[in-house]
Amino acid sequence: MKKVLFIVTSHAKLGDTGKTTGYYLSEVTHPWEALGKDFEISVASPKGGDAPVDGLDLSDPISRKFWEDPQWRKIMANTLRPEEVRPQDYAAIFYAGGHGVMWDFPDNKQLADICSQIYEQGGIVSAVCHGPAGLLNVFLKDGKRLIDGRKLTSFSNAEENLAGTASVVPFLLQTALEKDGAIYSCEKPWSDYVVVDGRLVTGQNPQSALSLGKTLRKMLA
């Protein structure tokens, strides 16, 4: 059974707003649902342990199914630390979004090295919404950035502005990806949009999470 490594944030503070944040629930549950029971999924985070959650919408039947599953809740409360991950075991890595990742994904060298190793050994790299923040400092053996010259998408500047968080996040993800050489594209806000470039697959926003999961499943199969 192929293994997939999900990465979620450990960061729970939404800047100086006094509000909380974390991984966006549907951006974990929807890809997980799409992968089904044919893949073994592990979850890691920058600090390990209990991962903070955001977007807790239990009117969504998929998210509700996972949230009410004690075994799944136990997994999310006991995420792996980066040093506990064996990259050679995984066929793919997936970065879930949520605003928290903007603070603790980009500069985490351990996670970047894990991603690089999985990719270099022929694995798939995937991310949704703010998740591509984890790709900003992933370098390959040739010294190039993984995203340099690659087609991808992420939460757009327009969506960040509409969400009212453009002045809250430490940087605008679309702008940072473009600055680091990515060939960025997006559809209108809240569109279901997925971009595949070789073994790199990205989704624009929460609305794209299920489609991204289905695409990842096909690629792994």
Asked if residue 31 lies in contact with residue 66, where contact means CB atoms within 8 angstroms, the answer is no
State both tokens at 126.
């995937």
Which of 27, 33, 160, 186 is labelled catalytic? 160
Say how far apart CA 125 and CA 15 lie, in whole Å.
28
Active site residue 160: yes
Active site residue 33: no
List, in sequence order, the alpha helices (H) in 41-126.
Answer: 61-67, 70-77, 101-104, 109-120
Which of 130, 159, 178, 187 is labelled catalytic? 130
Q: Is 133 exposed, middle or buried (0-12, 13-18, 19+ CB in 10 A)?
A: buried
Active site residue 115: no
Which of 27, 33, 115, 129 is labelled catalytic? 129
State both tokens at 186.
């997006």
Catalytically active residues are 129-130, 160
